[in-house]
Amino acid sequence: MVESSTKLTWLGHNCFQFERDGLRFIVDPFLVDGVAPRRAEEIDVDYILVSHGHADHCQHAVAIAKRCGATIVAVAEMASYFSQQGLKTEPMNIGGAIYLPSQSSRSPKVQVLAVPAPHSSTTPSGTPGGNSMGFVLSFAQNGVDLSPSEGEIKPMKDALADANAFNAYFACDAGFFSELSWIGALGIDLAVLPIGDRYTMGPRVSLDAIAALSPKHVVPSHYNTWPPISQNADAWSAAVRKYTQATPLVPKPGQTLQQDDSQTWR
């Protein structure tokens, strides 16, 4: 099995930088003054994952993409919005996937799967933004290609098991939905779930989501940006330990969590 350094950095709200196999992602780039420890001009990534069109999830996507040439991955309507500004895009929709080479291979060792995230969406210009999405990022750990064009076509969970895949799930602005149990069956190593309530699932509903997903580790997001979504992350963490089998990880804005060779997050 190939070991690969994995890093997750919380930049506030639902904005995360994620790195594995030499690929650098940023999810929902929104760098809030006074909260985010970095500015758009300090971000260097390969891919920008945009879950939906609300400004608090994509406000800095254009600035980052223009400066470092990153590709924006988004639902078709949002990808069209960004491509009209001359940016590189990978359009998707729920249930579909794209396949990426890792830094060490030209073959498709990385899969980005679009999954539901029940929520509203408009583009920053006010036009319909299509479906809101979450993402499952899967990384083959044993050399298996993840694209269905490269081998036998199998159910998704079996294909990921054959690849001994590391799977990270970003729920983005989701409430609870029935497909969480299917996502969980894929074998989630790391789940990032909102706990802010009001606009997304809150801390109580997130416990039901964790039970459906059965992830090894879970990270809270979309909270404490503004008073209406203020939450006690320490109390949430204690509840996760009490009511689920997952291990909670609660980074501070700007803090990087890294998985070591023993699969422990620090």
Confidence of residue 107 (pLDDT cuts 50, 70, 90): low
The answer to whether 34 touches 224, Cβ cutoff 8 Å, is no
**pLDDT (tens digit, 9 = 90+) per residue, 13-22?**
999 999 998 8
pLDDT in the model for residue 253:
94
Structure tokens at 217: 């580790």
Q: For residue 120, is pLDDT > 90?
A: yes
Confidence of residue 34 (pLDDT cuts 50, 70, 90): confident
SS3 assignment for the chain: CCCCCEEEEECCCCCEEEEECCEEEEECCCCCCCCCCCCHHHCCCCEEECCCCCHHHHCCHHHHHHHHCCEEEEEHHHHHHHHCCCCCEEEECCCCEEEEECCCCCCEEEEEEEEECCCCCECCCCCECCCCEEEEEEECCCCCCCCHHHCCCCCHHHHHHHCCCEEEEECCCCCCCCCHHHHHHCCCCEEEEECCCCCCCCHHHHHHHHHHHCCCEEEEECCCCCHHHCCCHHHHHHHHHHHCCCEECCCCCCCEEEECCCCCEC
Its pTM stands at 0.96
pLDDT in the model for residue 2:
43
pLDDT in the model for residue 85:
95
Domain ranges for the chain, please list them: 8-250
According to the CATH classification, is domain 8-250 in 2.60.40.10? no
Confidence of residue 35 (pLDDT cuts 50, 70, 90): confident
**pLDDT (tens digit, 9 = 90+) per residue, 139-179?**
999 988 999 988 789 999 999 999 999 999 999 999 999 99
pLDDT in the model for residue 106:
62
